[in-house]
Amino acid sequence: MWAAGVYVFSPHARIQKYYENIHVKPDFNDALTVAQDMITAFIKEEYDEIYLAYNHFNGPLSQTPVIEKILPLEASVLVHNDIRLPNAYYTYEPQETQIFFVFNP
């Protein structure tokens, strides 16, 4: 969200945190900062659900607004019956169920 967006949305919604200039040229560290803030707030139960809203760029004259639920994770996101994975053995530390419940208490 750019600075003008803060002024547009602030009368209608409580803006918890504003990230300066990450829209210009976002990198992994910017995404990591935002993700860590969201996960921390979710684990502290400040929010029940977290959504990501963005414009999907179709072309110069067309953008589609998209809203995706990020947390809590849905089981359907974790299981894809239509994808055939090669037979492989994965080791999880901690156990995969513990990892799941960290993000989906």
Number of domains in the chain: 1
pLDDT of the residue at 1: 43
Q: How far apart are CA 77 and CA 74, in angstroms?
A: 5
Higher per-residue pLDDT: 38 or 101: 38
What domain range includes position 40?
3-103
pLDDT of the residue at 102: 73
Distance of CA 66 to the CA centre of its chain: 12
CATH code of the domain containing 64: 3.40.1380.10
| φ/ψ (deg, to 5) at 69 | -75, 125
pLDDT, tens digit, for every residue of 55-76? 888 888 888 888 888 888 877 7
Residue 38's nearest CA partner among 52, 25, 56 is 52
Whether pTM > 0.75 for this model: the answer is: no
pLDDT-based confidence at residue 79 (cuts at 50, 70, 90): low
